[in-house]
Chains A and B, each alone.
Chain A
Amino acid sequence: MKKMLLSLKMSPTEIHQLNLGPITAHAFNKDRSQVAICPNNNEVHVYQKSGKGWNLIHALAEHDKLVTSIDWAPESNQLVTCSQDRNAYVWTFDSVTNKWKPTLVLLRINRAATFVRWSPNENKFAVASGARCIAICYFDEENDWWTSKHLKKPIRSTVLSLDWHPNNVLLAAGCADFKARVFSAFVKGVDQKPPPTPWGDKLPFNTICGEFSNDSSGWIHSVSFSPSGDALAFSGHDSQICIVYAGGETQNIRTSSLPYLSLLWITEEKLIAAGHDCVPVLFEKQGQQWRFSKVIDVGKKKVVTEATVFNRFQDWDSKGIREGSKEIELNTIHQNTITSIRPYQGSRHDISNISSSGIDGKLVVWDLK
């Protein structure tokens, strides 16, 4: 099911400083006119685009602790948020009262929730948690509430990230037990039996369709299915990116940079990664081999200004800079680790713009073409 995002006018890189502190998570609505972020506290702030900037229109305060992840379902326009308070809420927008109404979801976990994503058909969502399980939540019509089933075995540590396969049944999970796994999250009554995929045929709930790790065992920070779903990429804390083809080969890219926290396929042959290096980076499949292609952020040109005596003393007083231009700012747009990159524009098979948010409180929209 291809989801075509509305084609907006192409724009150069947009930079928005939405918070002084970190942005823990961000999610855009379908037409990119609104964005929900967590400004590193227990609230979710919804901003409306106005001109070149954003206006705060809603502050959703229902969670007790840090909201760790947000996802906005494009078609049903529902928000799901999960938090360190071991809860998740599904928010529906009531246009009569112009407010977001929360519905508590019983996850039955005894540790923090770390990551949440809607499934492609938006009838389920998966919540990763520190309780060494993944809660697959679906709406129970009979009892009129969101209920959950757990994927437990054989996860041995915190689940750090999730990604749904386009068939709405398979789910990839990256864990702190150094493994990336593909699970079947088939829920009877909610899902139709999916057509066979390279990952497996008979797929009852909690079947492991694949378990992968990289040789130097680092926590798996991010997993991502390719646009077709036939390949899985995951990045580990050991600065390696692994791409696994279902029933086929595995390719390992040892990078010489700091670990990547977030991955996103933009075409079947291109992959964007971002993390502790503060820049999104492109990896490409050239022929049969995956390799590093280029850094997306070209970096700022250093502006050489006339250093008048007054300016020099002013800098010394306010910023502690004594001579010339000592670097207190990074030469990149993001000034700190990028924690999340998400598709902004384009179809699943050909993404043209991505959005990134990080610890520096910036939300940046990148033009990849």
Chain B
Amino acid sequence: MSYRSTDVDILDEDQLFQKDLFTFAGGLELEPDVALKNVQAKGVDVRNFLTRGNTEKALTTAIENPPYGSNTTDAKDQNTKIVMEVLNSIKATDIPSIVKNLTLEQQDVLMKYIYRGMASPELYNSAVLLNWHEKLTEVAGVGCIVRVTTDRRTV
């Protein structure tokens, strides 16, 4: 009965692997601990901006250079926490003006974090995120949301 243990998939020559289809940054991936260190350093900067009251700079620093990669999960979780802190500390009345000043790239990354946050309602405040989502969609449109769903570089 050895045929039951034969893996037919490896014998299929037409098989498509993840690496054939898509690689992060052309094959150069960050080591998970390097990514984590970067994110922690970023966290310090962000907290400084927040205490000084510079919420806009805090947000742009938090969403800059997200730790994309296939095994940087710790860094990603940490970065999400930082972004959520910033989003929660910005007053609702400031949101429209801050969102308008973001570049298209930054808007896409922010939308990714909003969805990431909404995926864990037990950890993060969904009402705040919904408000951010509404204001961001007014400026960036549904194309931004489509890019969040199709982009393989997840946060």
Q: Which residues of A contact B (CB under 8 A)?
A: 132, 156-157, 177-178, 216-219, 236-240, 254-259
Contacts and interface: CB of A to CB of B under 8 A. Distances in A.
B141 A217 contact: no
A254 B143 contact: yes
A257 B147 contact: no
Given A254-B104, A258-B146, A156 B21 contact: yes
Given A157-B21, A178-B21, A256 B142 contact: yes
Contacts of A237: 146, 150
Given A177-B21, A254-B104, A216 B141 contact: no
B150 A216 contact: yes
B29 to A, nearest CB: 16
Given A157-B21, A254-B104, A256-B141, A238 B146 contact: yes
Contact of A216 (B14, B16, B153): B153
B151 interface: yes
A217 B151 contact: yes
Interface string B20-31: 111000000000
Given A217-B150, A218-B147, 4 more contacts: A239-B147, A240-B147, A254-B108, A258-B143
B151 to A, nearest CB: 4
Contacts, number: 55
8 contacts: A177-B21, A216-B150, A219-B150, A237-B150, A254-B104, A256-B143, A256-B144, A257-B142
Contact of A217 (B22, B104, B108, B144): B22
Report whether over half of chain B's contact residues are helix, strand or loop; otherwise say mixed.
helix
Nearest to B137: A256
Given A132-B14, A157-B21, A217 B152 contact: yes
B148 to A, nearest CB: 9
B128 interface: no
Contacts of A256: 140-144
A254 B146 CA distance: 11
A132 B143 CA distance: 28
A-B interface, 3 closest residue pairs, ranked by CB to CB distance from nearest: A256-B141, A239-B143, A216-B151
A178 B20 CA distance: 11
A72 B147 CA distance: 35
Given A238-B150, A238-B151, A156 B143 contact: no
Contacts of B141: 255-257
Interface of B: 14, 16, 20-22, 104, 108, 140-144, 146-147, 150-153
B108 A216 contact: yes
Contacts of A238: 146-147, 150-151
B142 A258 contact: yes
B22 A216 contact: no
Contacts of A239: 142-143, 146-147
A216 B147 contact: yes
B86 to A, nearest CB: 23
A237 B14 CA distance: 25
Contact of A157 (B16, B144, B147, B151): B16
A115 to B, nearest CB: 20
Contact of B150 (A156, A218, A255, A257): A218
Nearest to A240: B147
Nearest to A177: B21
B13 to A, nearest CB: 12
A128 B146 CA distance: 26
A25 B147 CA distance: 27
Nearest to B142: A258
Contacts of B147: 216, 218, 238-240, 254
Contacts of A216: 108, 147, 150-153
A157 B22 CA distance: 12
Contacts of B142: 239, 256-258
Nearest to B22: A217
A240 B150 CA distance: 11
B133 to A, nearest CB: 15
Contact of B146 (A157, A177, A217, A259): A259
Of A157, A239, A257, A258, most buried by chain B (CB within 10 Å of CB) is A239
Nearest to A255: B143
Contacts of B108: 216, 254
A1 B147 CA distance: 39
Nearest to B141: A256
> Which of A156, A236, A238 gathers most chain B CB within 10 Å?
A238
A157 B16 CA distance: 8
Nearest to A236: B150
